Structure 1
Amino acid sequence: MRPKQTLLLGIMLLVPVLAFLFLRTFGTNRYALPTYLPDRVDSTQVGGKWQRDTVFHQLGDFRLQSQSGRMVTPTDLDSGLYVASFFFATCPGACPRMNGLLMQVQEKFRKEPRVKLVSYTVDPAHDSVAVLERYAEQYGAIAGKWFFLTGDKTALYRLATQEYRLPAPTGAAPGLVHSQNLFLVDRNRRVRGIYDGTKAKEVNRLITEISVLLYDYDHTDPGR
């Protein structure tokens, strides 16, 4: 074989290998999702040198009642990931818009059991189980897929302000906490994405990043 032909063949064989190495090295980092809600920065000594490492908030426990009357805890959600939101049934504008877009998320991952939606009411005095049952029906919530949750007012207030760190309403007494944000929560109960739930572009980004996280579970860390 002539030297030029040998060189050309070598280059042709080398290109796919280099492309694979490039994608393997840089592709994963490019699409890695950030983690939100830092708690603190710890310092650890590695090889005689101090390294700083951010510790991110892990969402705490709750026990709330769904639109079906069933009690729901984080254990019911730990098998995969979920999209969390806050709403109230009498909200006239942002909540219907947000829940309408969440219908698209539910439909996109209808057959993916690891993806769930969790909507916490911030007005439990009004939003009883019966109210939430009717409300969930308006949005075609699939049983066991999309949970509308109500319960103790203090517990819901703590969840919103201390766990998801939403701004507390003004005034001394706990009041109505409202947010248009959607939170992508991973199987370790850490927030991996925050989105404006009233904007279609943001919800499309949420759908993409859910797929990224599922891909990560399937390919880079298949075990818990």
Structure 2
Amino acid sequence: MLLVPVLAFVFLYTFGANRYALPTFLPDRVDSTLVEGKWRRDTVFHRVADFQLASQSGRSISQKDLGDGLYIANFFYSTCPGACPQMNSQMARIQEKFRHEPRVKLVSYTVDPAHDSVAALGRYAEQFGAIAGKWFFLTGDKSAIYRLVTEEFRLPAPSGVAPGIVHSQNLYLVDRDKRVRGIYDGTKAKDVDRLMTEINVLLYTYDHNQ
């Protein structure tokens, strides 16, 4: 009897496999498909649509410029006094953690494009040590930003934080298929620690599930 738990451990250690599957967020609809004569219901999840916005260097950036890996997205405005600096300090932590991993990019969208010009974003990016080609601060047409925020990442319409400005403390983990795989509080270090762990989980699946 004493050998039973030992043998069970040896079996699981030798033949078992650890599984840690990330959830997928932002469902679009439920489809029904016929499989072997039986109807199966599958959730279809939203994919973030492409965009064309100007980066802090003045270069036009789309999702294609982010490569075939994953990216972390957040929304900010440069005159935000509280949450935005906290979020972008955490984004800087992520950048440093994955500095040498080309499949990980960071994208910060301004939600105040009238104020945050390319030049202003350049100065702001320097404050946080943004690495060129790694961390993109993006601005553009107000309607394009609004569509991206409310339709693609599905944040609620503006409400009193600042006139006409959509505000969020969230960081979004977007996988290589442009689906949102995690939503985190960007002002909390523990939540960002979890985000960095889950980035590693995705990278592991990309390496081992070709």
TM-score, normalized by length of structure 2?
A: 0.92
Cα separation, 1, equivalents of 2:125 and 2:203: 26
Q: How big is the shift at 1:204?
A: 0.4
Task: Please tell me the residue identity of whatever aligns with 2:14.
Answer: F
| Conserved? CA contact 2:57–2:118, under 8 Å | yes
2:16 — aligned with what?
22
SS in structure 1 of the partner of residue 148 of structure 2: helix
Q: How big is the shift at 1:17?
A: 5.1
2:111 — aligned with what?
122
Deviation string, structure 1 residues 125-171 (Cα, Å, up to 9, x no partner): 00000000000000000000000000000000000000000001259
Q: 4+ residue runs of structure 1 moved beyond 4 angstroms? A: 14-18
Cα separation, 2, equivalents of 1:56 and 1:160: 17
Deviation string, structure 1 residues 69-98 (Cα, Å, up to 9, x no partner): 010001011320000000000000000011
2:187 aligned residue (189, 198, 202): 198
| Conserved? CA contact 1:45–1:51, under 8 Å | yes
Task: Please tell me the residue identity of whatever aligns with 1:42.
Answer: D
Cα separation, 1, equivalents of 2:159 and 2:189: 30
1:177 — aligned with what?
166
Gaps of 5+ in 2: none
SS in structure 2 of the partner of residue 35 of structure 1: coil
| Conserved? CA contact 1:78–1:188, under 8 Å | no
SS in structure 2 of the partner of residue 124 of structure 1: coil
Identity of aligned residues (%): 70
1:66 — aligned with what?
55
Cα separation, 2, equivalents of 1:206 and 1:197: 10
Higher relative helix content: 1
Gaps of 5+ in 1: 1-7
Cα separation, 1, equivalents of 2:199 and 2:167: 24
Q: How big is the shift at 1:18?
A: 4.2
1:219 — aligned with what?
208
2:28 — aligned with what?
39
SS in structure 1 of the partner of residue 182 of structure 2: strand
SS in structure 2 of the partner of residue 43 of structure 1: strand
Cα separation, 1, equivalents of 2:67 and 2:197: 20
Cα separation, 1, equivalents of 2:119 and 2:132: 15
Q: RMSD of aligned C-alpha atoms?
A: 1.8
Cα separation, 2, equivalents of 1:189 and 1:154: 21
SS in structure 2 of the partner of residue 206 of structure 1: helix
| Conserved? CA contact 1:84–1:119, under 8 Å | yes
Q: How does 1:87-106 map to 2 (within 5 A)?
A: 87-106=76-95
| Conserved? CA contact 1:117–1:146, under 8 Å | yes
Cα separation, 1, equivalents of 2:199 and 2:12: 29
Task: Please tell me the residue identity of whatever aligns with 1:125.
Answer: A
Cα separation, 2, equivalents of 1:137 and 1:19: 48
**1:208 and 2:197 equivalent?**
yes
**1:164 and 2:153 equivalent?**
yes
